[in-house]
């Protein structure tokens, strides 16, 4: 059975919650008002994230993209991509951020990434407008829905936040840290804890040597 790896971006591939940092920097008032409501569940992601971003002038979007280029990646990510390439495992990045921001940081690695699914910024007006072709339920990007597009495959998920919970529930193997790890434990679901991609790579390499992933 074919194996596909699905990974979150902010706080998973990046060391920090970069999207949240950018929203606070470029839309401070809307962030102060809405981020606590997003975290508490009073406002869902599908409504709350655009409500913040659409207060940002389109003219400032290039600054956001430039800021993202310098954000630190979690240690071991480059080596992790090499491992996936060696075992012919596609990497699909599922992000509740914006595709332009994700690709600004992942551009050096784009030939090793199968697909990036995220919302997009529309810059035709005075302020940003947000469009997502993969929205569903309460999510700006319905991560579990995207995973189901791939049919009957072995699914591996990597994430860090409550926003990755639907993705984790859909997966056969989960690597989790931070809030996602807490939620997985609370729900009694199995997962592998991680803090860097070296840990994930070491586990998967041992696993795949014993049980080839696309056999």
Helices H / strands E in the chain, number of each: 10, 7
Q: Which of 113, 120, 93, 122 is nearest to 11 (CA)?
A: 93
Task: Tell me what pLDDT residue 173 has.
Answer: 98
| 105, 73 Cβ separation under 8 angstroms | yes
Band the pLDDT of 122: cuts 50, 70, 90.
very high
Over the chain, what is the mean pLDDT?
96
Q: What is the pLDDT of residue 162?
A: 86
Task: Please report the sign of the dihedral spanned by the C-alpha atoms of residue 181, residue 4, residue 13, residue 207.
Answer: positive
User: What are the boundaries of each domain within the chain?
Assistant: 3-210
pLDDT cut 70: percent of the chain above it: 100
CB 30 within 8 A of CB 20: no
Mean pLDDT of 132-153: 95
User: Could you read off the pLDDT of 42-78 as tens digits, one per residue?
Assistant: 999 999 999 999 999 999 999 999 999 999 999 999 9
* Residue 41 confidence class, pLDDT cut points 50, 70, 90: confident
Tell me, what's the pLDDT at 73?
98
What value does the mean pLDDT take over residues 110-131?
98
Best CA proximity match to 121, nearest among 137, 95, 151, 100: 100
**Where does the pLDDT of residue 39 fall: very low under 50, low under 70, confident under 90, or very high at 90 and above?**
confident
> Taking a C-beta distance cutoff of 8 angstroms, is the pair 157, 172 a contact?
no
pLDDT for 128: 98
* DSSP-based three-state secondary structure for 95: strand
pLDDT-based confidence at residue 214 (cuts at 50, 70, 90): confident
- 192-212: average pLDDT: 97
Query: Across 160-215, where does the E strand assignment appear?
Result: 173-176, 192-193
Closest to 66 measured CA to CA, from 105, 118, 97, 94:
105
Q: How far is CA 132 from CA 47, 53, 84, in A?
A: 12, 13, 28
Confidence of residue 95 (pLDDT cuts 50, 70, 90): very high
| pLDDT for 160 beyond 80 | yes
Report pTM. Answer: 0.95
CATH 3.40.50.1000 fits 3-210, yes or no: yes
| Closest alpha carbon to 203 in 139, 153, 158 | 158
Question: What is the mean predicted confidence (pLDDT) over 89-115?
Answer: 97
Q: Over range 111-115, report the average pLDDT.
A: 98
The C-alpha angle 103, 27, 46, rounded to 5 degrees, equals 65
């Amino acid at each position: 059975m074919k194996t596909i790896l699905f990974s979150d971006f902010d706080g998973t591939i990046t060391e920090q919650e970069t999207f949240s940092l950018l929203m606070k920097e470029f839309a401070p008032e809307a962030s102060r008002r809405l981020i606590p409501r997003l975290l508490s569940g009073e406002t869902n992601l599908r409504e709350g994230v655009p409500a913040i971003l659409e207060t940002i002038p389109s003219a400032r979007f290039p600054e956001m993209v430039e800021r993202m280029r310098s954000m630190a990646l979690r240690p071991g990510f480059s080596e992790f991509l090499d491992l996936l390439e060696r075992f012919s495992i596609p990497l699909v990045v599922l992000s509740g951020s914006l595709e332009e921001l994700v690709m600004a940081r992942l551009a050096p690695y784009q030939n090793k990434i199968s697909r990036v699914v995220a919302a997009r910024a529309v810059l035709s007006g005075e302020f940003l407008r947000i469009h997502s072709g993969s929205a569903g339920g309460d999510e700006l990007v319905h991560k579990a829905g995207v995973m189901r597009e791939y049919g009957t495959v072995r699914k591996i998920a990597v994430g860090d936040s409550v926003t990755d919970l639907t993705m984790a529930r859909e997966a056969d193997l989960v690597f989790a840290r931070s809030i996602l790890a807490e939620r997985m434990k609370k729900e009694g679901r199995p997962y592998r804890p991680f803090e860097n991609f070296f840990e994930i790579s070491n586990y998967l390499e041992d696993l795949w040597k014993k049980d080839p992933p696309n056999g």
